[in-house]
Amino acid sequence: MSARASTPSASPIVGATEGPASIEALIAQRQLRAVFQPIVDFDDGAILGYEGLIRGPAGSPLESPAALFAHAGAAGCTTALERAAADVCIDAFTQLGCNGKLFLNFSAGALCQLASTGIGALFARIDAQRVVIELTEQSAIADLREFTPVVAALRAAGAQFALDDYGSANASMNVWVQLQPDVVKIDRFFIQDIANTPLKFEAVRAMQHFAQASGARLVAEGIENEADLLVLRDMGIQSGQGFFLGRPDAQPPRKLDERTRAAISAHHIAVFPEATRQSGASATGGGAPAQKMVVHAPALPRRATNNDVLDLFNRMPDLHAVAVVEGETPVALINRRAFMDRYALPYHRELFGKKACLQFANAQPVLIEQTMSVEQMAALLASDDQRYLADGFVITDNGRYAGLGTGESLVRAVTEVRIQAARYANPLTFLPGNIPISSHIERLQSHDAGFHACYVDLNQFKPFNDQYGYWQGDEVLKFAAQVLADVCDPMRDFLGHVGGDDFLILFQSETWRERASRAIETFNAGALRFYAPADRLAGGIHGEDRQGHPTFFSFVTMAIGCVHIAAGTGAQHGSEAIASLAAIAKRRAKQEAAGLVVIEGSDSAELLPALSHGEVYAEAQRAMPAAHS
């Protein structure tokens, strides 16, 4: 965090009558003050260093760093202020006798000037090995090749080099690659609310992968709550700073308070934010779906004749259609079967062979741009114009002809992407699907965290679905998902949708039983509103059982079978064993009036032999297919 950006809003700048000498006067009269914000190691909660930040005279218009540097910029003495701020921070830091490193902010221009006058002068009063120089984001580097020797001089003196506010302004991957920083501080934009923002989570994870490849240490800036802290800790970010860990102060803490240390060392595992909608590229591992459907085929110019079309189809018997283009722009499409059927009629070749090919062409073909999303392609499947199923369609690259596609390939591509995406997020409830479920179970087991795996099932859902239809059945499933989400603590409890009326909650909340019971009670009461008044009055619906016998079915209710995995025992239970135990618990819960049954993971040796091997596998597949994804 740069000194200039540490305060959200600037105080009013002093009047124009106070000219450039006002900043010089503050420096000369030693009216600048240093404050320090701790930077914390997430492994043990120790303070590994402090960022030195500058303040003007207390209560004055220039107290905030934003106002200070804005006024210095107007006066043309920014570099002098940066050097003075560094000196003030160094003096105060050495007088405090704090352990750890001191992080100091410099712009590229100030560092270049410092290098030209001698880097060593900066470290006259402090060991350079205790200093990390942060390159602020405010000023762009004109030529990275000319700036590289500046970084080399800092390292030669013993100091470390850091990129500040990475991901904003001028902080780019190009700078990272060429300057190879020792430390990279992630801009607060990506950190704040990362616990609830999948795209921020993915952006930081990408930075993390690059940091591992380059050997840089990551520092997360702007941590302001426990939820964000735990997500960052559990995804492997090494350290951070922010108001939750400590505010800037002239007398900074030497160690964290108990509340903050307890948050860092919390035993429960953070629930990562899961992307609920997968694009075609992300769900299939990259690449636009339309590009994978391209049939590379020659096109004919607008002036081509029907004889030219016939000749092309005869030379290429596998070609289902041919595009007609004007320049590089497709203007029509001729389907092989339709053309051949009409051309085979008596005298058609003699009458129409030398005439323009547009006579038998579809002048309004379906056009699909290569970059079209799966959602846009799916909209075509639902459109009234279904000619693409027989004719095929034209694929374009920025409006230029790129190739052809078939209706069959379009249906297959959309279906494959949707199936793959459903493994990440259920398309009805948008809750995490099998892959995120499996990932979270593995994280819980690898950390030996204690948890309750609760398999949720709806009793009498199939008869309801048969009686009221899939649309109303979907509404019941969405209601169940909302009820379960409401009882979960988003910081501790993971909720996934396995499929159909099967849900999975991985509880870490100590009040898990109360939460599960509340979900059952709320759902059972709320589900009644999905029935017709006459069925509510009758207490259920008439239908047929699986053998076709007339049966009366009571209302849809919720059952929860739970397996308790004690802390420190996660590695002893495989995913399949947990799934099988959950299936047994679910089966028992469906027979209990309360709808809730708990099984201890330690009882697996006695319980699992009760199922045959085939039953274990089948129940595990049904209960937690994530274990077999």
Report the 3 state secondary structure along 551-564.
EEECCCEEEEEEEE
The CATH number given to whatever domain includes residue 609 is 3.30.70.270
Q: Which of 105-119, 172-186, 509-523 has the highest mean pLDDT?
A: 509-523
Nearest one of 529, 528, 504 to 516, comparing CA atoms = 504
Domain span holding position 559: 426-628
Q: Is residue 274 part of a domain?
A: no
Give the rounded percent of residues in the chain with a pLDDT score beyond 70: 85
Last residue of a domain, one of 363, 387, 418: 418
Give the Cα separation of 486 and 509 in Å (integer).
13
Q: Is residue 527 part of a domain?
A: yes
Give the Cα separation of 501 and 559 in Å (integer).
11
pLDDT the model gives residue 118:
84
Q: Under a CB-based contact definition with an 8 Å cutoff, are residues 313 and 336 in contact?
A: yes
Give the Cα separation of 303 and 300 in Å (integer).
8
E strand or H helix at 590, and its extent? none
Name the band, by pLDDT with cuts 50, 70 and 90, for residue 117. confident
What are the CA-CA distances from residue 505 to residues 433, 437, 454, 490, 615 (Å)? 12, 9, 5, 11, 22
- The better pLDDT of the pair 61, 42 is held by 42
The CATH number given to whatever domain includes residue 7 is 3.20.20.450
Q: Has residue 94 got a pLDDT over 70?
A: yes
Last residue of a domain, one of 418, 445, 475: 418
Q: Is residue 307 part of a domain?
A: yes
- 72 by Cβ neighbours in 10 Å (0-12 / 13-18 / 19+) ranks as buried
pLDDT the model gives residue 7:
39
For the entire predicted model, the pTM comes to: 0.70
Q: Has residue 602 got a pLDDT over 80?
A: no
Q: Say yes or no: 76 and 92 in one domain.
A: yes
Q: Say yes or no: 432 and 414 in one domain.
A: no
Tell me which of 132-146, 207-221, 300-314, 564-578 is least confident.
564-578
Q: Say yes or no: 466 and 611 in one domain.
A: yes
Give the Cα separation of 76 and 313 in Å (integer).
74
**DSSP classification of residue 37:** E
pLDDT the model gives residue 71:
87
Mean pLDDT of 604-613: 56
Last residue of a domain, one of 418, 440, 455: 418
pLDDT the model gives residue 5:
43
Give exposure, 199-216, as e/b (b: 16+ Cβ within 10 Å): ebbebbeebbebbeeeeb
pLDDT digits (tens, 9 = 90+) for 217-252: 999 999 999 999 999 999 999 999 999 999 999 999
- The better pLDDT of the pair 35, 448 is held by 35
Q: Say yes or no: 186 and 238 in one domain.
A: yes
Name the band, by pLDDT with cuts 50, 70 and 90, for residue 277. very low
pLDDT the model gives residue 606:
64
E strand or H helix at 400, and its extent? strand 400-405
Q: Is residue 271 part of a domain?
A: no
Q: Under a CB-based contact definition with an 8 Å cutoff, are residues 600 and 577 in contact?
A: no
Mean pLDDT of 565-574: 76
Q: Say yes or no: 405 and 455 in one domain.
A: no
Q: Say yes or no: 216 and 354 in one domain.
A: no
Q: Is residue 275 part of a domain?
A: no
Name the band, by pLDDT with cuts 50, 70 and 90, for residue 464. very high
Q: How many domains does the chain have?
A: 3
Q: Which of 175-179, 412-416, 452-456 has the highest mean pLDDT?
A: 452-456
pLDDT the model gives residue 607:
65
Q: Say yes or no: 409 and 434 in one domain.
A: no
Q: Has residue 587 got a pLDDT over 60?
A: yes
Structure tokens at 57: 């005279």
Q: Is residue 541 part of a domain?
A: yes
Other CB atoms closer than 10 Å to residue 612's CB: what's the count?
9
**Residues with Cβ within 8 Å of residue 419, at least 6 apart in sequence:** none
Can you tell me whether residue 58 is helix, strand or coil? coil
Tell me which of 266-280, 298-312, 354-368 is least confident.
266-280
Nearest one of 143, 161, 80 to 113, comparing CA atoms = 80
Q: Say yes or no: 412 and 432 in one domain.
A: no
Average pLDDT, whole number, for the chain?
Answer: 85
Q: Is residue 269 part of a domain?
A: no
Mean pLDDT of 492-519: 95
Q: Is residue 272 part of a domain?
A: no
Can you tell me whether residue 17 is helix, strand or coil? coil
Q: Say yes or no: 243 and 351 in one domain.
A: no
pLDDT the model gives residue 326:
92
pLDDT the model gives residue 578:
80
Mean pLDDT of 98-107: 95
Name the band, by pLDDT with cuts 50, 70 and 90, for residue 609. low
Q: Say yes or no: 430 and 413 in one domain.
A: no
Q: Say yes or no: 231 and 200 in one domain.
A: yes
